[in-house]
Amino acid sequence: MNKDLKMEKETFRPICHFSPSKHWINDPNGLVYYKGEYHLFYQYHPHSMVWGPMHWGHAVSTDLCEWEELPVALYPDELGQIFSGSAVVDWHNTSGFQEGEEAVLVAIFTHHGEDNEKQSIAYSNDSGRSWMKYEGNPVIPNPGIKDFRDPKVFWHEESSKWIMSLACGDHIQFYGSPNLKEWDYLSSFGETYGGHGGVWECPDLIYLDVEGEELKKWVLIVSLNPGGPNGGSAIQYFTGDFDGTTFVTDQKEEDEKWADWGRDFYAAVTWSGTEQPVWIGWMNNWEYANQTPTAEFRGSMSIARTLSLENKQGNYYLIQKPLMSNRLKKQLIFSSDQADFGLESPLNIKIPALPFMIDLEMKDGNSPTFTVSLKGKGTLLAITFDQTSQQVRVDRTKSGRVDFSEHFPSIDTMPIDSLKDMFLLVDHASIELFINGGRYVMTESFYPASSIDLVEFNTSIEQADYEQLTIQTIHM
Ligand code: FRU
């Protein structure tokens, strides 16, 4: 949460997620870690509750949970609005922008003009507090492609150059540069691969560990809007190899891999400069983002998540684990180690405060079909684990305020191969569900009529079915 907002009482204000003190946000931008600070820039309309002329808002955190909002970092100018992009620490001053002892931060973003989209840069010599736009902008002019945006840049050690991934409508283009100012086109990927129900946006090319192996794989992240598995915005990914010039996937053209099956996880990208890959997404969906019923702000970020891969018979899948700061104080509300559940069925657990998290570990992946209901007055959000159809269903049709958009009330599904464990994080207006150690993930927003104060496990699940169940509240 934003440090200064602890006393505020907006009903839907999240606590362990970032939201701006006021007005509209969308994508996370310029994610860079420098000297103990995680920078979170974001698409921001500082004067309005709806999307409009885009700026880069700015917040910093030392633990990815508690955020301090800083002044707007980048304003629109004669080249256009400031659309999504990334930031890097230019440790070796390849750009020549460094002025003193401090390393220079360089932001790479899209200038969205009335005529077209092109890529530009800006730099900061004071740890991201103030920014100068480069006088030679744009650094990549528009080559005649309508959607030409969201540059994500990293330093590629093996080929000693900066690599940029860029979203170009129905494919990704890669560019290379020695100095962040001069860019050469390298290659393209994707026209015939994966989901194409909408526009490709916000790419990220990352190098991830395969769990339990001495192996790393390249993964290309691509946001897609619309065309997600449950409608509207969603994030797909491609596993494969990158040699400094070309990305080659090990998937078939028709394969679709989704990072998150929920309706509300979009435009996620990773932080530059962290030891472990960590990403964060916008918890919203373009189908209804401009109508969500918050009062003072509109839009929030997901919990940050670490990333790795799982190898399943030569197919590689994303593993996401929520990054919960050690500084968060937790209070145990319920533990299967300390009570006899057999007596009480259905299991009703009173929730004294939000946010809270549920940890459930099943016995031997042999789960029955059962439902976990989150309840408050006039509010029901039901999560069903269906063993027969091997599916998770999140039903938010009765979850409180659902009438603000015809696209919002929904029953969303995710195929799973088994249920070994689940971790559920519930904040005032969102759930994030991680199954089997983060192999399957669903993020859903909801707007309760009154705060969730009860968790109910229906009678189909018995104590014999699980190894352990705990519920803890989180205090900041
Ligand atoms: C993704 C996106 C980006 C664009 C930005 C504009 O949500 O459409 O492609 O840069 O939002 O705000």
Which domains are assigned to the chain?
A: 3-322 (2.115.10.20), 329-475 (2.60.120.560)
d(CA 451, CA 376): 6
d(CA 258, CA 243): 24
- Beta strands 297-298 and 23-34, pairing class: parallel
Distance between Cα 271 and ligand 1 center (Å): 18
Residue 24: closest CA among 69, 54, 61 = 54
Ligand 1 atom nearest residue 112's Cα = 10
User: In this structure, are residues 282 and 267 in contact, taking their beta carbons and an 8 Å threshold?
Assistant: yes
Q: What angle do CA 314, 315, 321 make, to 5 degrees?
A: 120
Residue 299: closest CA among 25, 53, 67 = 25
d(CA 296, CA 380): 25
User: In this structure, are residues 136 and 104 in contact, taking their beta carbons and an 8 Å threshold?
Assistant: no
User: In this structure, are residues 33 and 273 in contact, taking their beta carbons and an 8 Å threshold?
Assistant: yes
d(CA 201, CA 223): 5
Q: Is the pTM of this model over 0.75?
A: yes
Distance between Cα 86 and ligand 1 center (Å): 13
Q: What are phi and psi of 317, to 5 degrees?
A: -125, 145
Classify 342 in phi/psi space as left (phi over 0), alpha (psi -120 to 50) or beta: alpha
Torsion of CA 445, 446, 447, 448, to 10 degrees: -140
Strands (E), 250-369: 266-270, 278-282, 297-298, 305-312, 315-322, 329-335, 347-350, 356-362
d(CA 119, CA 139): 6
Q: Is 285 in the pocket of ligand 1 (CB under 6 A)?
A: no
Distance between Cα 431 and ligand 1 center (Å): 23
Written as one letter, the residue type at 367 is: S
d(CA 384, CA 458): 10
Q: What are phi and psi of 180, to 5 degrees?
A: 70, -5
Q: Is 18 in the pocket of ligand 1 (CB under 6 A)?
A: no
Strand partners, 187: 174
Distance between Cα 387 and ligand 1 center (Å): 38
Strand partners, 325: none
Tokens of 311: 């190898």
Residue 474: closest CA among 350, 374, 380, 352 = 352
Distance between Cα 131 and ligand 1 center (Å): 21
d(CA 120, CA 110): 6
Distance between Cα 259 and ligand 1 center (Å): 18
Active site residue 386: no
Confidence at residue 28, expressed as pLDDT on a 0 to 100 scale: 99
**CA-based torsion, 19, 24, 27, 29: positive or negative:** negative
Helix (H, G, I), strand (E, B) or coil at 5: helix
> Going by CA atoms, what residue is nearest to atom 8 of ligand 1?
201
Q: Could you tell which of 48, 202, 286 is best to mutate to test the pocket of ligand 1, judged by most ligand atoms within 8 Å of the CB?
A: 202
User: In this structure, are residues 284 and 268 in contact, taking their beta carbons and an 8 Å threshold?
Assistant: no
**CA-based torsion, 284, 288, 291, 292: positive or negative:** negative
Residues near 9 by Cβ (< 8 Å), separated by ≥ 6? none
Ligand 1 atom nearest residue 282's Cα = 7
Residue 417: closest CA among 441, 438, 390 = 390
Ligand 1 atom nearest residue 84's Cα = 10
Residues near 467 by Cβ (< 8 Å), separated by ≥ 6? 361, 362, 363
Confidence at residue 249, expressed as pLDDT on a 0 to 100 scale: 98
Q: What angle do CA 54, 56, 57 make, to 5 degrees?
A: 115
d(CA 154, CA 119): 15
Classify 261 in phi/psi space as left (phi over 0), alpha (psi -120 to 50) or beta: alpha
Residues near 7 by Cβ (< 8 Å), separated by ≥ 6? none
Q: Of 27, 150, 260, 427, which one is the catalytic site residue?
A: 27
Confidence at residue 287, expressed as pLDDT on a 0 to 100 scale: 98
Strand partners, 432: 425, 443
Q: Is 294 in the pocket of ligand 1 (CB under 6 A)?
A: no
Tokens of 78: 């004669």
pLDDT tens for the chain, 476 residues: list them: 565 555 455 889 999 999 999 999 999 999 999 999 999 999 999 999 999 999 999 999 999 999 999 999 999 999 999 999 999 999 999 999 999 999 999 999 999 999 999 999 999 999 999 999 999 999 999 999 999 999 999 999 999 999 999 999 999 999 999 999 999 999 999 999 999 999 999 999 999 999 999 999 999 999 999 999 999 999 999 999 999 999 999 999 999 999 999 999 999 999 999 999 999 999 999 999 999 999 999 999 999 999 999 999 999 999 999 999 989 999 999 998 876 555 566 889 999 999 999 999 999 867 899 999 999 999 999 999 999 999 999 999 999 999 999 999 999 999 999 999 999 999 999 999 999 999 999 999 999 999 999 999 998 888 888 899 999 999 98
Residues near 92 by Cβ (< 8 Å), separated by ≥ 6? none
Q: Could you tell which of 25, 44, 147, 201 is best to mutate to test the pocket of ligand 1, judged by most ligand atoms within 8 Å of the CB?
A: 201
Q: Is 83 in the pocket of ligand 1 (CB under 6 A)?
A: yes
Residue 211: closest CA among 306, 122, 121 = 306
User: What proportions of the chain, in percent to the nearest 5, are helix, strand and coil?
Assistant: 5, 50, 45
Spell out a b/e string for 401-440, using b for 16 or more CB atoms within 10 Å of the CB, else e. bbeeeeebbbebbbebeebbbbbbbbbbbbbbbbbbbbbb
